[in-house]
A and B are shown apart, each in its own frame.
Chain A
Amino acid sequence: MASRRRILIGAGLLFVAVGVYVALHRGGSIARGPTAKQHSVAPDFSLPQLNGQSLQLSAYRGKVVLLDFWATWCTPCREEIPHLVELQNKYRDRGLEIIGVSMDDSPDPVRDFYQRFQMNYPVVMGNADIGEGYGGVLGLPIAFIIDRDGRIYAKHIGATEASVLEQDVRAVLASQ
């Protein structure tokens, strides 16, 4: 009986420790979550993809776009990628298109990363202009959810739970 109680206590404490670790690992960025519901028009851009072809945001009108500013050296960004790949698979048929904007200085590590993580959505190489156009991308990751009319529905600064992004995506997909 006593040993069973000890096992239960030990398991409980381990659970607490894992919680502490997860909190430390994800940092305070969770609290920064969705900062604003904005409805301004998302600034248009035309930027080179990894394959050299240019991608223009306005060509995605009629789709719900998740615009993800990230970089290969950014740990929370890397952690989000598998969830974004999953999200793209799950909602592509309903009109979701994810676009990654890499803030890396060179496309080389991005190409390697793209292959390794089997990314299933286009990635363009960002620059200071697009950063400023979107209000300053001075910390990563930052995700914008853009509705079918090209308006910004939500902005998420910092590491964001996949479920939170999915909730927003579902809301925009359902509203139009």
Chain B
Amino acid sequence: MISKRTRRIALAVLISALSAAIFLGQAPGQATSIPSSHLINPEDLVKILQATQGEKPLMLQVGSYVLYAQAHIPASEYVGPVTSEAGMQQLHRQVDSLPKKKFIVLYCGCCPWNHCPNVKPADDALRAMGFTNVKVLYIANNFGADWVEKGYPVAKGQ
């Protein structure tokens, strides 16, 4: 028989170990650490884009140009991977003159959500600049699977 004390210790170890595992899986800079209140789902964004009324967001793609050139959300602008200094500078340039209440949607879709290196730094940067209406498009797997293959609107080229 396992004593109560042993069970308590086992439970404490389990909770600590799982917490550590979850913490390791959500390292700073990863998309998984973006609060859910900052996120927008593809279907919700599509509804906003297709609505006849309401403010349309400025959509910024913060992934690679090769991916953008193959497929991107119509009217979205290319920024580039903000993990690079050049990409971060470009992001600042593209929003610098905008009002802080501007509705902005960031997206990437280069990799599965928990591996995307770009959206979290971009979200952090815009909020640090004072933007208050920023959403990050939640792309679970990649832009192909979660946007293009769903039949959502797509544009190609520059």
Which of B3, B114, B118, B148 is close to A24, meaning CB atoms less than 8 Å apart?
A: B114
A140 and B144 alpha carbons, distance in the complex (Å)? 10
B67 touching A137, Cβ below 8 Å: yes
Interface status of A116 (Cβ within 8 A of chain B)? no
List residues of chain B with CB within 8 A of the CB of A139. 109-112, 141-145
| Cβ–Cβ < 8 Å partners of A164 in chain B | none
Which of A28, A109, A128, A132 interacts with B112 by CB under 8 Å? A28
**Which residue of A28, A127, A128, A137 contacts B140 across the interface (Cβ within 8 Å)?**
A28
User: Is the CB–CB distance between B115 and A27 below 8 Å?
Assistant: yes
- Pick out which of these stretches binds chain B: A15-23, A59-67, A144-152, A166-174: A15-23
- Which of A5-13, A50-58, A83-91 touches B? A5-13
Q: Is the interface of B mostly helix, strand, loop or mixed?
A: helix
Indicate if A74 sits at the interface (CB-CB under 8 A): yes
Q: CA separation between A132 and B118, bound complex, in Å?
A: 23
Q: Which residues of A contact B114 (CB under 8 A)?
A: 24-25, 27
- Which of chain B's residues has its CB closest to A28's CB? B112
- Number of residues from B at the complex interface, CB < 8 A: 44
CB distance from A98 to the nearest CB of B (A): 20
Please state if A24 and B25 are interface contacts (CB–CB under 8 Å). yes
Collect the chain B residues with CB atoms within 8 Å of residue A73's CB.
Answer: 64, 81, 83-84, 110, 117-118
- Total contacting residues, chain A, CB less than 8 A: 41
Check if A143 is an interface residue, CB within 8 A of chain B. no
CB of B64 within 8 A of CB of A75, answer: no
Q: A71–B15 Cα gap in the complex (Å)?
A: 36
User: Which of B6-14, B38-46, B124-132 faces chain A?
Assistant: B6-14
Q: In whole angstroms, what is the CA distance A32 to B140 when docked?
A: 12
Contacting residue for A128 out of B66, B111, B117, CB 8 A = B66
Among the listed A24, A74, A137, which residue makes an inter-chain contact with B21, where contact means beta carbons less than 8 Å apart? A24
Tell whether, in the assembled complex, residue B70 and residue A131 are in contact, meaning their CB atoms are under 8 Å apart: yes
A24–B31 alpha-carbon span in the complex (Å): 12
Contact string against A for B residues 1-34, beta-carbon threshold 8 Å, 1 for contact and 0 otherwise: 0110010011001100110111011100000000
The answer to whether A14 touches B17, judged by C-beta atoms less than 8 angstroms apart, is yes
A140, B118: Cα distance in complex, Å: 14
Let me know if B83 and A16 touch, CB within 8 A. no
Q: Once the chains bind, are A75 and B115 in contact (CB under 8 Å)?
A: yes
B67 touching A103, Cβ below 8 Å? yes
Across the interface, do B115 and A136 meet the contact criterion of CB distance under 8 Å? Answer: no
Using known A-B contacts A13-B17, A29-B141, determine if residue A128 contacts B110 with beta carbons closer than 8 Å.
no
Q: Within the complex, which residue of A6, A74, A127, A138 is in contact with B144, where a contact is CB–CB below 8 Å?
A: A138
Q: Knowing A105-B81, A138-B148 touch, does A9 contact B67 (C-beta < 8 A)?
A: no
Closest Cβ of chain B to A35, distance in Å, is 10
Task: Report the minimal beta-carbon distance from A131 to chain B, rounded to whole angstroms.
Answer: 5
A-B contact pairs, 12 of them (CB 8 A): A6-B9, A16-B17, A20-B22, A21-B21, A27-B115, A73-B84, A74-B111, A131-B69, A136-B144, A137-B66, A138-B142, A138-B144
